[in-house]
Amino acid sequence: MPGPMTTRIENKLREALNPSFLEIIDDSAKHAGHAAMKGLPKGETHFRVTAVSSAFEGKRPVQRHQFVYQILDAELKEGLHALSLTTNTPEEYKA
């Protein structure tokens, strides 16, 4: 069962992007002992996100990532530490 941060990320991305495909993987356990994690809330902090959406059409990869960061601004301020993003348009995803 997904945790609360995973659920928030999914809900926000589904609402903002209306994706044809969305995958969110919590990689937090792989980073639990890292020095950079000291002082951060325990739990959901590192995610891999793959999103396919027509909202990315006409945007360069950096613009797509900035758009996702903007959508998840509150989560980034509340303990979300790292996002690995794969952002594609439906045409790119088919190829």
Q: How confident is the model at residue 36 (pLDDT cuts 50, 70, 90)?
A: very low
Cα radius of gyration (the chain) = 14
Mean pLDDT calculated for residue range 6-20: 98
Which of the four pLDDT bands, split at 50, 70 and 90, describes residue 30? confident
Its pTM stands at 0.85
Mean pLDDT (the chain) is: 89
Q: How far apart are CA 45 and CA 69, in angstroms?
A: 14
Structure tokens at 55: 């909202």
Ordered by where they begin, the domains of the chain are 4-94 (3.30.300.90)
The yes-or-no verdict on residue 35 having pLDDT over 60 is no
The pLDDT of residue 70 is 98
